[in-house]
Amino acid sequence: MRFAVLVNAGPYQYQGADTAWHFTRAALDGGHDILRVFFYHDGAYNGNRLLVPPQDERNVGARWSRLAAERGLDLVVCVAAGQRRGVLDAAERRRHGKDADVLAPGFRIAGLGLLAEAAILADRFVTFG
């Protein structure tokens, strides 16, 4: 089965982002395909490479980056949601005249068209947060 995953929750708001990560990993382990994981609204914060949780807590953003590296996931942060929250890649940083980009490894910035495409192509569309 092919899944598209939408994450609307920030990494430390509540369990939404964690649950999405566990679902995605379990689906992959079960032999399913994840077409795309799209981070929207406060979910954009998951793509911030500057997250520094206390050492005894999980690093949700780093978990997503590792899973993307291990499994070749397409992790997409909504461009508008990311801009509102300061989650920018190098191109968006230059375009807006900012002095830093903070996009974590394995993530990319794109528009809502990729969310619509994933929803159309997937057998199931799952939303968290």
Which of 78, 81, 88, 114 is flagged as catalytic?
Answer: 78
Whether the pLDDT of residue 6 is over 90: the answer is yes
For residues 2-26, average pLDDT:
95
pTM of the model: 0.95
Return the pLDDT at 14. Answer: 84
Structure tokens at 112: 């809502």
Return the pLDDT at 99. Answer: 92
Tally of domains in the chain: 1
For 96-107, the pLDDT digits (tens) are 999 999 999 999
For residues 3-13, average pLDDT:
95
For 76-97, the pLDDT digits (tens) are 999 999 999 999 999 999 999 9
The length of the chain, given as a count of residues? 129
Positive or negative torsion for Cα 9, 11, 14, 17: positive
Structure tokens at 74: 């397409």
Q: Tell me how far CA of residue 122 lies from CA of 25, 32, 51, in angstroms.
A: 17, 11, 31
Write the CATH number for 107: 3.40.1260.10
Residue 60 is among the residues annotated as catalytic for this protein: no
Q: Which domain holds residue 120?
A: 2-128
For 23-82, the pLDDT digits (tens) are 999 999 999 999 999 999 999 999 999 999 899 888 999 999 999 999 999 999 999 999
Return the pLDDT at 17. Answer: 95
Whether the pLDDT of residue 13 is over 90: the answer is no
For residues 9-34, average pLDDT:
95
